[in-house]
Chains A and B, each alone.
Chain A
Amino acid sequence: MIRGRKWSGIVSIVVFITLEAVSFAMIYKDSVIRHYALARASRNLTGMIEREIKDLTDYFGLRSENDLLQRENCELRQLVADFSAQIPSGLPDHILPKVSPFSYLPSRVIHNSVNASRNFILLDKGSEDGVCEGMGVVTHNGIVGVVDAVGGNVCRVVSLLSTDMQFSAKLKKNNVFGLLVWPGRSSSRVLLTEVPTHSDVAEGDTVTTSGFSSIFPSGIPIGVVLRTESNGVSINVAVDLFQDFHSLDRVYLVANKNKSAIDSLLGKR
């Protein structure tokens, strides 16, 4: 009787340690788990349900959505006009400015989380639309995240609001760059870290993408400097995001046709 109880206790301890180890491995290696069939199937299933719900609820927000798109269209028209004015007429084709290696794919958010320490976004585009892992996601208000798993017609994005993510960003006025991290508190605020102490940073300065990665093009606005704090070695800059992650809806997937070449040179693959 006592021996049976002892064995039962040992089995329980072994099962406990094994199951906790498996759980911790899954938390730590979430990027590996997402490839398994069960995770893919659940992502596709929840994606399908959420897409239907989104279709229904979107109908009630069409007016504000149209206003937003019209504003964005207006800004883009202005940009095209500005660039056209910079190209002298009669310039031969072979000395026209180079075409950007980045291309954009419009998409809609069908699920978004902002409260966990690692937040994910589900988009309504997948491998059938040409989406690949590692593609960036942006809006006209800034960067949103990076695609980390792709299904047939949905993809999962690791949000900028994830405490273990880092993005390269710079100050627009003087190109001083640093690492953008989310401290895990407010969904409207991030930190630009590792900014050199001698840098000229002031409240209200604009922070943009640096273009130092193969994921995002340079110059996408991210937010404005709220305040700075020096730790003696570098400056930590609190940045107020332009993008409200609670109202994320229409986004663009960014593909860089030079990404594999850049990544292989940097030894990432």
Chain B
Amino acid sequence: MNPLVRNIIYYFLIILLQAILQGHVDFGPMVHFCLLPIVIGALPQTWKSWSAMAAAFAIGILTDLLAGGVTGINAAACVLLAALRPMIGNTDSNALKNTALRTLVYVTAFVLLDSFSFRPILFNVCKILVSWAVTFAATLVLSHTAPSQK
């Protein structure tokens, strides 16, 4: 199969998985899996920053619509991550530190946008830490299933 088509299918499946995990599986109030950093990190490094942000916005909106929650939360977090991409790097760099940082930025943005100042700070801090831990673990597992970039 054409590597480009294979990549598109793979990352679309990640978006679909994210929508299912977010909107249709109950992990309790403290756990939120964020798989979209994998997709944002895989956007070609040659893309200009604004085009990466536009693509990230589209990916976020698609996930929000499929998950059935509040529209815009994933989109805002995705755009933020795409904007910080030059600083955090992408999956090509394959550095554990970058993956950890990318998932932490995304989880923090998502939890804070979702709570929208209505939830207690301590609750949000606990949720960020727990969600980041499970997201980081899931990202490491999924990185072994990613198709080759070559």
Contact = CB atoms under 8 A, between A and B. Distances in A.
Given A15-B54, A187-B29, A111 B68 contact: yes
Interface residues of A, number: 40
B24 interface: yes
Contact of A30 (B31, B71, B76, B123): B71
B45 interface: no
Contacts of A115: 26-29, 31-32
Contact of A113 (B54, B69, B83, B115): B69
* B contact residues, range: 35 or more
Interface string B83-108: 10000000000000000000000000
B75 A23 contact: yes
B70 A164 contact: no
Interface string A102-120: 0000000001011111101
B23 A111 contact: yes
Contacts of B24: 50, 111
A65 interface: no
A34 B115 CA distance: 20
A42 B67 CA distance: 9
A122 B113 CA distance: 22
B79 interface: yes
A12 B116 contact: no
B79 A20 contact: yes
B72 A24 contact: yes
Interface string B31-68: 11000000000000000111001100100100001101
Nearest to A182: B118
Given A19-B79, A111-B24, A116 B114 contact: yes
A8 interface: yes
A39 B65 contact: yes
Contacts of A33: 71-72
Given A114-B26, A115-B27, A117-B118, A12 B48 contact: yes
Nearest to A27: B72
B144 interface: no
A12 B113 contact: no
B80 A20 contact: yes
A43 interface: yes
Given A30-B72, A42-B66, 7 more contacts: A12-B50, A16-B79, A19-B75, A20-B76, A20-B80, A27-B76, A46-B23
Interface of A: 8, 11-12, 15-16, 19-20, 22-27, 30, 33-34, 38-39, 42-43, 46, 50, 111, 113-118, 120, 122, 156, 163-164, 183-187, 246
Closest 8 CB pairs of A and B: A26-B72, A163-B118, A23-B76, A42-B65, A15-B50, A12-B49, A184-B119, A27-B72
